[in-house]
Chains A and B, each alone.
Chain A
């Protein structure tokens, strides 16, 4: 009995499969590019400068923190660049420079490095920074006020805000194809649904994000919005509108799937994603904030360690030797 093979493994030397944090970061950046480029196409140089400043300042903050803490320089893995890019994509194109730089400082220092760097952060660093900016300067993230001088020839009221303030009858003023193709007021990189879905599918296929989290998040948003809509169609918007507006799609593929702050086991991933989707719609429909994605994901980040206690059953059977 004691000689029975319980575990089989290969002997050294091992062969590295080539994966690295740098490769992952490059792939995430590549996947986010379609949506980011659409933002630059729609808003022009203002969007480009926000994204450029966000990425570069995030890398510089990371480098500075490495120097101050006397740790190896980690900007080569480009994780800071990813955080900066995603934060920039959540901003309006008219975001002032100081808010961009402060945002990346909060993301890199308060969101990530203060906990020990990559892999140690309990919350999504991008969303920590966004939430702090939103609570401190609400007006800077008010898309209606920030984009007053832009006109794409469609209804330029921020769709998810219009739904919250004026009710579901405003949905008729938006064409779903416009929302899907990015012809709506909103953040630089959060409005081009097609680009975000293509990028998200690419990351899922390459194995850089877990489909369980992304799909369960979208399902959570869809089902919750459907239930609200079915309960009171005169007050709550339909699920497709919720999916194509606000931060839903960038949240599903680029934010809720962040490695360090999301669970690793199958059932916890489903609960985590669905919970974030449920809270998103709950905040949108009955909460204070216009969009619920940011706070919904941050709240589910809190539950991550608890959820990962739900573990798969260990292989094999118990043997009593005594």
Chain B
């Protein structure tokens, strides 16, 4: 293959791939499932990766939505985000850190399943 053919092929390759890349990003919205699969809770003690599917699936722990999302009043209602009420540094009411610790650590402690040590969930 001669120099000019090489260049033509490279230009063609760059153009086609650029088109695929731009169209891919422009046309495809970020993947958001109906229910979260996993969630990352970011905090100062080290982020926590929470497997939502494992906790909610009947094949996993099988918890119902309202077992954790206490604001659900009717079945099928979409829960609000925990952080909407439980603020990171909230003087009034239960803060975000305490809310999560009470819920997660409390349940792990009671059931005997899941980690209760800090390093069992928090990852730096």
Contacts and interface: CB of A to CB of B under 8 A. Distances in A.
Given A52-B24, A55-B17, A149 B31 contact: yes
A156 interface: yes
Interface in A53-86: 53-57, 59-60, 63, 73, 75-78, 81
Contacts of A144: 38, 40, 47, 49, 123
B8 to A, nearest CB: 8
A157 B58 CA distance: 20
B14 interface: yes
Given A94-B30, A148-B36, A156-B38, A56 B10 contact: no
A49 interface: yes
Contacts of B7: 73, 75-76
B80 interface: no
B6 interface: yes
Contacts of A156: 37-38, 51
A45 interface: yes
Contact of B6 (A22, A57, A60): A22
Nearest to A73: B7
Given A53-B17, A53-B25, A144-B40, A77 B31 contact: no
A151 B20 CA distance: 25
B37 A149 contact: yes
A144 B11 CA distance: 36
A46 interface: yes
B123 A165 contact: yes
Contacts of B31: 46, 94, 149-150
B37 to A, nearest CB: 5
B37 A49 contact: no
A151 B52 CA distance: 11
B1 A75 contact: no
A145 B47 contact: yes
Given A52-B20, A59-B10, A149 B28 contact: no
A97 interface: yes
B3 interface: yes
B38 A49 contact: no
B85 interface: no
B90 to A, nearest CB: 25
A75 B17 CA distance: 14
Contacts of A134: none
Contacts of B13: 55-56, 59, 78, 81
Interface in B1-60: 1, 3, 6-7, 9-11, 13-18, 20-25, 28, 30-33, 36-40, 47, 49, 51, 53
A2 B11 CA distance: 56
B119 interface: yes
Contacts of B15: 56
Interface string B73-117: 000000000000000000000000000000000000000000000
A171 to B, nearest CB: 16
A283 interface: no
B24 A45 contact: yes
B63 to A, nearest CB: 18
Interface of B: 1, 3, 6-7, 9-11, 13-18, 20-25, 28, 30-33, 36-40, 47, 49, 51, 53, 119-120, 123-124
27 contacts: A22-B6, A49-B28, A52-B18, A52-B24, A53-B21, A53-B22, A53-B25, A55-B14, A56-B16, A57-B21, A59-B14, A75-B11, A75-B14, A81-B10, A81-B14, A94-B30, A144-B49, A145-B47, A148-B36, A148-B39, A149-B31, A149-B32, A150-B31, A151-B37, A156-B38, A157-B49, A165-B124
Interface of A: 22, 45-46, 48-50, 52-57, 59-60, 63, 73, 75-78, 81, 94, 97, 100, 144-145, 148-151, 156-157, 161, 165-166
